[in-house]
Amino acid sequence: MSNKRREFLKKTAVSAVGAHIIPAWSWSKQVAPSDQINVGLIGCRNRGWGVLRNQLKNEGVRCLGLCDVDQNILNERNVQVHQESNQKPKLYLDFRKMLEDKDIDAVIIGTPDHWHCLQTVYACQAGKDVYVEKPLANTIEECNIMVEAVRRYNRVVQVGQQQRSSAVWTEAMRFIKSGKLGTLRKVNIWANFNYGIGSPKQPDAAVPQGVDFDFWLGPAPLRSFNPARFHGSWRHFWDYGGGLMTDWGVHLIDMALWAKDVTHAPTTVMAYGENLSFEDYARETYDTMSVIYPMEDYVITWQHAAGLQNGPYNMLYGVEFVGDKATLVANREKWMVNPEDKSKSIDKEKSQPESKHKEVLNDTDLHMQNFLECIKSREEPNCTIENGRNVSLYAHMGNLAVRSGEGKLVW
Ligand SMILES: NC(=O)c1ccc[n+]([C@@H]2O[C@H](COP(=O)([O-])OP(=O)(O)OC[C@H]3O[C@@H](n4cnc5c(N)ncnc54)[C@H](O)[C@@H]3O)[C@@H](O)[C@H]2O)c1
């Protein structure tokens, strides 16, 4: 082993321990070809890249293809894949070409929301399994088309709502479903976040070199290039995303559905949404929103105030499950129970009011492992296409109730 490589391994081990992750790079072990999973990544800049890196930590995963419409990002990620895992994927500007590679078993879709539907459907048609990022799609109709395609082509599809694989949320759900909170009547959700206001306004500009902007727009309406509605900040414009309402809504509203195992579309949605602040920032999605979802025997509420980095319980985002006997408050790191009667113990777990998980595997690690296991077993993954569709409908309906001008929609 060369000194350079030894140095690299040492550095990787140190940074991985710092991030509570133990690396198990695929190239470090011999894996039988039958146990190998060959993957391709579509959309390499931010989340897609994180998800791929995560997959490559698992034994037997090989990256055969990288695809992006931005040549600069493609080149950068190619170098990184080589450096970090000693693999040499083929590079593609057109995902359809990548899907023609018969050796690729599964693809990760890490593109903006307006691309998820077409790419998932094409991938299913090509016989690939799919890890598709959330929200499932940018419209309700696209979500429904995706469910149909996954079932028709019989593919394993994991939706990137990693909280469905999380140890913290699984434990919180077990507690809620045990009945120890009493009757669960309300689930209050909030998500603030600085990034929800978009990026500073800028004039339209020339398309950056190396970017196929037509292919970035894809199914969205044609328009001139503007840096404030491109990489990362596209999520604040209706043609490509739904703002905080869908970006975080699908993660957190899903917890409210999971608590009562709700598997149906929303029936009634009441919503207020407005842009009230940060006028120098470019966005169409609302910086301020309150939404009410009346359910059969409980009510879900959603609140966001984009541009703020704090919220109730000193938490930037969170979910409050309000029961007759106690309220459980959770985020991705911890959950805690506040009993109504402070003198009465709810059960043993009350002696540990906070459950903290700092173990080796984070939510995305677990979600990815579950996906890889399901590719082999052909079982349903933790976040099915139906889970992804249902919660997307709740999130989109919040936005649609406001955009319709009615403030209320009945399904
Ligand atoms: N699960 C999570 O916690 C989580 C976190 C962040 C983002 N996401 C989701 O991941 C997705 C991507 O978000 P992001 O922040 O990485 O966006 P991003 O803008 O940073 O990256 C998107 C990438 O896709 C590429 N792309 C666009 N159109 C393409 C096409 N037709 N073919 C190939 N590549 C194309 C872009 O060039 C860019 O490199 C979104 O759906 C987002 O909601 C999920």
Identify the residue whose C-alpha is closest to ligand 1 atom 7: 47
Give residue 113 CA to ligand 1 midpoint distance, Å: 7
Contact 132, 159 (CB under 8 A): yes
The CA-atom distances, in angstroms, between 224 and each of 111, 216, 229, 235, 242 are 20, 12, 10, 17, 20
Q: Which of 18, 85, 88, 35 is nearest to 57 (CA)?
A: 85
Tell me the CA–centroid distance for residue 126 and ligand 1, in Å.
21
* 215 three-state secondary structure: helix
How many Å lie between the centroid of ligand 1 and the Cα of residue 136?
12
- Token duo for residue 201: 């306004």
Mean pLDDT for each 10-residue chunk of the chain (411 residues)? 33 32 41 87 98 91 97 98 95 98 98 98 98 98 98 98 96 96 98 97 98 98 98 98 98 98 95 98 98 98 97 96 97 93 60 48 91 97 98 98 96 85
38 three-state secondary structure = strand
Q: How far is the CA of 131 from the centre of ligand 1 (A)?
A: 13
Report the atom number in ligand 1 closest to the C-alpha of 73: 39
CA 68 – ligand 1 centroid, Å? 10
Q: Which domains can be identified in the chain, with CATH numbers? A: 3-163+365-384 (3.40.50.720), 167-357+391-410 (3.30.360.10)
Q: Closest ligand 1 atom to the C-alpha of 246?
A: 43
**CA nearest ligand 1 atom 22, residue:** 111
Per-residue pLDDT reduced to its tens digit, 203-236: 999 999 999 999 999 999 999 999 999 999 999 9
CB-defined site of ligand 1, < 6 Å: 42-48, 67-70, 73, 95, 110-113, 115, 133-134, 160, 162, 215-216, 218, 231-232, 234, 247
C-alpha 110 to ligand 1 mean position (Å): 4
For the chain, the first-to-last Cα distance in angstroms comes to 63
Give the span between the Cα atoms of 315 and 372, in whole angstroms: 33
**Residue 93 φ/ψ, nearest 5 degrees:** -95, -20
Q: What is the pLDDT of residue 356?
A: 54
Ligand 1 midpoint to CA 166 (Å): 22
- Closest CA to ligand 1's atom 17: 232
Q: Please give the helix or strand (H or E) that residue 50 lies within, else none.
A: helix 47-56
| DSSP category for residue 381 | P
**Cβ neighbours for 355, distance < 8 A, ≥ 6 positions apart:** 168, 171, 172, 334, 335, 336, 349
Residue 95 phi, psi dihedral angles, 5° rounding: -60, -25
Of 215, 255, 213, 277, give the one whose Cα is nearest residue 395: 255
Pocket probe mutation, ligand 1, options 111, 212, 240, 387, max atoms within 8 Å of Cβ: 111
CB neighbourhood size of 282 (10 A): 18
Q: What is the pLDDT of residue 341?
A: 85
Nearest Cα to Cα of residue 282 among 217, 221, 202, 223:
202
The residue whose CA is least distant from atom 9 of ligand 1 is 133
Spacing, Cα 410 to ligand 1 middle (Å):
31
